[in-house]
């Protein structure tokens, strides 16, 4: 209450700088006198004087008198008590759960956290939740769109770029590029916030579910156009990946007339690099392009993913069945010339990587 009084003084004073000095003096004086003043207030109150009378006699605001009396009634003392802070509205269990949820799914929103805590009977304001997360070192940050490149990754990118810079355009025409991506039903490309420790810089994949869910697809393409696209049902593992390759790789290569001696590109996901998968490639005499880790900039399919997602969301799919249908339709619609252009300009991409010393590029 005393503090409130001082604030009023700050606001009213037209001289900010001078006022700062006054404020600190007031606080100092308060520290010296408050206990005494408070004792006098209580004594007078006990003697039967009213708030107004005490306020006038001691020249302190009535609200202050009232606060002193209330506190004295509650604690039976006028001593300075340690500030208890705001009492915790959440149980320790709920707090742990909040922190665990945000760490496990960094893209979870405050609203979602609020709803889930309300479900277990702890209804609190969102600011309370964010305060708890801050205390544990988790802050809302804009999700990184690109992976954080460690020096080792940059080195590998640079090595890849320099070693392939001399490749003929024909070599790139023989590559079948592949990747998996998640497509959201109600996705948007807006900035996305994630919970993360201030200094961590790991790649944050935007995998938010906007209620409607999402699907995961695998697809491939070459300079001659888009290959097959399949929806991945359930969790992807090595065996599932091999099945996808089994059912789609050779057929796509054939459709795109890549010939027998084509090169297959995939990233270094452990599911792609499983021993049995590598053996499968060997048995099929499929050459696999040695690929640097953490290098979406180097995979031209990333550009197609972006264009595909924009096109699909323009169709406004209303459920996951439609989403899959539109994905496949829009994938097929991507023109051969678009694919050819991406591959024609591939050497430019390599020079950009070299110029960036292996770091991130505009691609």
Ligand X SMILES: *[C@@H]1O[C@H](CO)[C@@H](O)[C@H](O)[C@H]1NC(C)=O
Query: What are the E-state strand segments in 161-240?
Result: 175-184, 193-197, 214-222, 225-232
Q: Which is nearer to ligand X, 122 or 324 (CB)?
A: 324
Q: Which is nearer to ligand X, 34 or 53 (CB)?
A: 53
SS3 category, 316: coil
Q: Which is nearer to ligand X, 326 or 363 (CB)?
A: 326
The stretch near ligand X (CB under 6 A) out of 49-57, 108-116, 271-279, 331-339 is 49-57
With contacts defined by CB under 6 A, how many residues of the chain interact with ligand X?
A: 8
Q: Which is nearer to ligand X, 163 or 316 (CB)?
A: 316
Q: How far is the CB of 67 from ligand X (least distance, A)?
A: 19
Q: Give me the 293-322 binding string for ligand X, x by CB under 6 A, dash otherwise.
A: -------------------------xx-xx
Among 4, 56, 189, 200, binds ligand X (CB under 6 A): 56
Quote the Cα angle for 26-30-33, to 5°: 135
Q: Which is nearer to ligand X, 53 or 136 (CB)?
A: 53
Q: Is 186 near ligand X (CB under 6 A)?
A: no
Determine the Cα–Cα distance for residues 277 and 162; give it in Å rounded to an integer: 28
Determine the Cα–Cα distance for residues 176 and 363; give it in Å rounded to an integer: 19
Q: How far is the CB of 56 from ligand X (least distance, A)?
A: 4
Contact 362, 352 (CB under 8 A): yes
Closest CA to 231 of 243, 246, 216: 216
The stretch near ligand X (CB under 6 A) out of 10-18, 50-58, 108-116, 221-229 is 50-58
Determine the Cα–Cα distance for residues 247 and 232; give it in Å rounded to an integer: 12
How far separated are the first and last CA of the chain, in Å rounded? 59
Residues in touch with ligand X (CB under 6 A): 49, 53, 56-57, 318-319, 321-322
């Amino acid at each position: 209450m005393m503090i409130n009084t001082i604030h009023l003084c700050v606001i009213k004073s037209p001289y900010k700088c001078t006022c700062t000095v006054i404020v600190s003096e007031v606080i100092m004086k308060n520290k010296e006198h408050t206990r005494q003043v408070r004792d006098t207030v209580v004594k007078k109150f006990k003697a039967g004087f009213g708030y107004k009378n005490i306020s006038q006699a001691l020249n302190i605001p009535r609200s202050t008198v009232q606060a002193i009396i209330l506190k004295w009634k509650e604690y039976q003392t006028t001593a300075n008590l340690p500030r208890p802070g705001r009492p915790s509205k959440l149980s320790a269990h709920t707090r742990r759960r909040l922190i665990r949820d945000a760490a496990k799914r960094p893209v979870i929103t405050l609203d979602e956290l609020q709803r889930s805590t309300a479900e277990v009977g702890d209804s609190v304001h969102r600011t309370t939740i964010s305060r708890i997360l801050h205390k544990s070192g988790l802050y809302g940050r804009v999700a990184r769109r690109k992976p954080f490149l460690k020096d080792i990754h940059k080195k590998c990118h640079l090595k890849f770029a320099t070693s392939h810079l001399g490749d003929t355009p024909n070599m790139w025409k023989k590559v079948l590029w592949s990747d998996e991506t998640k497509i959201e039903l109600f996705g948007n490309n807006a900035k996305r916030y994630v919970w993360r420790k201030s200094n961590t810089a790991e790649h944050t994949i935007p995998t938010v579910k906007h209620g409607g869910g999402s699907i995961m697809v695998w697809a491939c393409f070459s300079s001659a156009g888009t290959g097959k696209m399949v929806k991945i049902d359930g969790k992807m593992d090595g065996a599932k990946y091999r099945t996808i390759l089994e059912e789609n790789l050779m057929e796509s290569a054939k459709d795109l007339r890549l010939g027998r001696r084509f090169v297959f590109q995939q990233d270094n996901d452990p599911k792609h690099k499983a021993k049995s998968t590598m053996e499968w490639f060997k048995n099929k005499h499929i050459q696999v392009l040695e690929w640097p880790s953490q290098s979406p900039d180097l995979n031209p399919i990333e550009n197609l993913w972006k264009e595909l997602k924009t096109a699909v969301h323009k169709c406004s799919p209303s459920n996951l069945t439609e989403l899959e249908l539109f994905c496949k339709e829009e994938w097929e619609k991507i023109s051969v010339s678009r694919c050819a252009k991406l591959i024609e300009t591939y050497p430019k991409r390599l020079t950009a990587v070299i110029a960036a010393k292996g770091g991130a590029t505009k691609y």
